[in-house]
Structure 1
Amino acid sequence: MERPEQHPDHVEQIQAAWRRERPDLDVSPLAVIGRLHRLAARLTAELTLVYQRYGLGEGEFDVLAALRRAGAPYERAPGELAAHTMVTTGAMTKRIDRLERAGLVARRPAEDDRRGRVVALTDAGLRLIDEAFTAHLRNEHRLLGHLSPEEAAALQHLLTAWQSRLDGSTDTGRNA
């Protein structure tokens, strides 16, 4: 699927302005990074619309999904949840508090460590995440439907390779 070359898109306009202002710099990375940044914002907006239909924010959806992925009995320690959703334990506590007030999760003492706690899906939480995740996947299929299966597979391969290389890199760009 090629984009018609009628008018430059927003990223091309930004690149053109930088080329004019700083012809000494290679602004070609903006073509990829700029578009990925804009696409990520657009995808987040499209995804959160589905979460909102179920009364969830992105963070709450992530917690419920992490608990559901754990398998029966659908529970994890708060620290595990934080690691699985890549947020701080403080942010996780706030998410769990909101979900507990909504009756979607329950806290209980850990069986192997009385000082520890476990967060588990309630029956209502399990029903909600199953419905919300089904709708979420429908939405993701819709969004990927703008690509051919071959394009989606190629993009998955490229993004996986890029992420793997970045994750394995010790150069974070801080010295640049």
Structure 2
Amino acid sequence: MDRFVIVCLLKGETLKFHEKLVEEVCDKYKVKKQKLPAHFTIKAPFETDKIEEIETTIENFIKDKSREDILIDGFGHFRTDVVFMKIIPSNGAIKLHDTFIDELKKVSWLHWKGHEGKEKIFHCTIVTRLRENSFTSIWEYVNNYNPQFNTYFDNISILKWQDFRWMTYREYAL
């Protein structure tokens, strides 16, 4: 069985800013770098030997869909162990996401946890698994920046865990 995750990869200036900030924070505060590129998660990691069913679901879903606006606007955090860039999705992006979740939920073997699916907090993680004693310093550091990017929910991508990192398996453009 292989391990996969479904995301929207963020590109352009958002990606460049994210890569630079993650590098700075991880070097300066000696925290572990995440193994995913700039993204927001659509479906958390899962294991399967039936990825073709997910591919078909995505291929059918995107046929009549187009990209939707999202805004990157500042920072947020979950508890004191995750710092992220806030993503404010347009109404169209929320509808696109939620409609796709409905399609994914038709895949009988795909399991869901409580924080997955609709009603999610859209975000792009900078660092995770922080020890409580490093949170305040990192939070203060990132808030010296003010990321403001108009970008898009313009892809649905499957990443596969291989060689101890997440690699793009398939990217579907909207």
Give the TM interval when normalised to the shorter protein: under 0.3
Higher strand share: 2
More helix by share: 1
The structure with the largest alpha-carbon Rg is: 1
TM-score (norm 1): 0.26
- RCO higher in 1 or 2 (8 Å CA, sep ≥ 6)? 2
Normalised by the length of structure 2, the TM-score is: 0.26
